[in-house]
Amino acid sequence: MKRLITCAFLTAFLLAVGHGQDKNAARTTPSKQTTSTSFVEKLLKFFGISDSPSTLKGPGDEVVSGELWVADLDSGSTRALTSMGGYRSPVFVSGTKDVLALRGIEVMRIPSGGGESKKLCSVDTITKLVGASAEESGKVLILLRGEAASRPRVGLLSTTTGVVTVVPYDPASSQDMQMVENLQGWSRTYGDQRIYVKRRAKPALSGTVEWSDVFRKVANSEPVDVSQCDGTDCGQPSLSENGHLLVFVKAKAE
């Protein structure tokens, strides 16, 4: 049986189909060159999936960084998880309700009940946390900055050792390039439900106010605004392994 969380991250990939600064800084180790097929297969194996579902790619994410918020999809309530700001790219830790997120170049672990965040490591070229492995504890798929004017690199980060292993791909392969492009997106499908970011607008005395919200659509039902940000940009959503919680980033209100 496919796991809920693994299905989510694969679909995110196929939607349209370093050195640290302190003693905890990440060390990067090279991998042997592989074929186009093995790059895709490696990521499928990472998330424990054998097929390739797809969906239409949603609009781009609007929020850059901010506070982490959690939406309870059963009750419809939302609550702040952090209060210091500057967080981005959150994902749930497999098997727990805790969250991993970036704060600058630091990979942080945030307790599900709130409280003090813990720095796990630093990666000076990291741009995004994509998702935690469903099979290997402490392994996270990440994106890294490429060289000037080049595409991002893909890597596997060990949160226990800080070591990054680069996962090579073939820039001449359309399949590989589609995978890399979709690693950068935020629209995700989890079984029969889709999570995506959508622009919204409403009239105000000063004119039209626009912002981005996170929506959830289950099967053929009407989409539901689960972030309820009402005028403040929200985005970068990720669902918990059991499907009951959703973490997202809420920008600082202006």
Over residues 218-231, the pLDDT tens digits come to: 999 999 999 999 99
Each domain of the chain, given as residue ranges in start order, spans: 4-192+236-250
Average pLDDT, the chain: 80
φ, ψ of residue 49 to 5 degrees: the values are: -120, 145
Global pTM value: 0.79
- Amino acid 208 reads T
- Amino acid 123 reads V
Q: What would the pLDDT profile of 110-168 be if each residue is shown by its tens digit?
A: 999 877 899 999 999 999 999 888 778 889 999 999 877 788 999 999 999 999 999 99
Q: Sorting pLDDT into bands at 50, 70 and 90, what band is 184? A: confident
Residue 99 has pLDDT above 90, yes or no: yes
Q: Are 241 and 4 in contact (CB under 8 A)?
A: yes
Average pLDDT estimate for 19-36: 45
* Assigned CATH topology for domain 4-192+236-250: Thrombin, subunit H (2.40.10)
Distance CA 3, CA 109 (A): 23
Q: Poorest-confidence range of 17-26, 88-97, 168-177, 242-251?
A: 17-26
Residue 86 has pLDDT above 80, yes or no: yes
Q: Sorting pLDDT into bands at 50, 70 and 90, what band is 87? A: very high
Distance CA 9, CA 162 (A): 22
